[in-house]
Amino acid sequence: MFKRLFSKRNRVLVSELVRTDFKLRYQGSVLGYVWSLLRPLLLFLILYVVFVKFLKVGNGIPNYPVYLLFGMIMWNFFVEMTSQSLSSIVGRGDLIRKIRIPRWIIVISSSISAVINLLLNLVVLSVFIIFNHVQITGAITVLPIIFVELYIFSLGVSFFLATSFVRYRDINYVWEVLLQAGFYLTPILYPLSRINNLLFQKLLILNPMAQIIQDARYVTVTKDTITNYALYRGEPYFFIPFVIVVVIFIFSANYFRKRSKFFAEEI
């Protein structure tokens, strides 16, 4: 599948679909693309006021505002990518019913829109990183690998959601609730160290999103954060989040491949 992704025809198709997506997204808005940058900026402002000035949740964590924004950006990427992909197959029903294109291209192109948004957000983030004098170390070279993990995890979930949405339109609402739950179960707004019970800490970090966000913060913002490695040093449980990512991806990609033959008739 990944070999075919880079065939000329498929590349053109993905880029054209992503382009359309972006054009349509900012259709009729005055500021247009500026919103892609403005959104993380405003988000940062809100987080800063609420969690740094009012609630003071992150006392003790260096560069807490950047720490907070980074977690938020990664979580938002996951939400955006999965919710867009969820409806991508059904939303592109007109294409699927009329022309033969590899079905996965549609999911991939909707995921790429989300990736582009993530990159724009990271641009804003790096401005804050510089502004806050965050000490960047060599550990940041690991960051791309963490993002690859994030992408594969999101893609796995996306394939599953997109496929099941064709048959069960309630997935939409179920996923909304699950995302809401996931948001609070993942240490995004609160630092993991705020949870006093070690067992709970250990359970929470098994969620791939928690592991990914904590690792990314660790290599970028501050060493003062609890990671999967810190909790499970030397234990086999350390691998659980990665195994979850791989299993979800393989299962979902297969499910998608099997069902995609029938998309045209079922949509």
Minimum distance from residue 162 beta carbon to another protein (Å): 16
Q: Which is nearer to another protein, 13 or 204 (CB)?
A: 13
Q: Which is nearer to another protein, 236 or 265 (CB)?
A: 265
* Residues near 30 by beta carbon (within 8 Å), at least 6 away in sequence: none
Minimum distance from residue 224 beta carbon to another protein (Å): 43
Can you say how many angstroms the Cα of residue 123 is from the centroid of all Cα atoms in its chain?
Answer: 16
Helices (H), 132-262: 143-167, 171-185, 198-204, 208-220, 228-232, 240-260
Residue 206 in 3-state DSSP? coil
Q: Which is nearer to another protein, 18 or 124 (CB)?
A: 18
Minimum distance from residue 1 beta carbon to another protein (Å): 17
Q: Which is nearer to another protein, 95 or 115 (CB)?
A: 95
- C-alpha–C-alpha distance, residues 100 and 97, integer Å: 8
Q: Which is nearer to another protein, 4 or 9 (CB)?
A: 9
| 85 close to 162: Cβ distance less than 8 angstroms | yes
Minimum distance from residue 216 beta carbon to another protein (Å): 34
- C-alpha–C-alpha distance, residues 102 and 100, integer Å: 7
The angle at the Cα of 215, spanning 210 to 216, to the nearest 5 degrees, equals 100
Minimum distance from residue 252 beta carbon to another protein (Å): 18
* Interface ranges with another protein (CB under 8 A): 8-9, 12-13, 15-17, 19-20, 23-24, 27, 94-101, 167-171, 174, 261-262, 264-265
Amino acid code (one letter) for 204: L
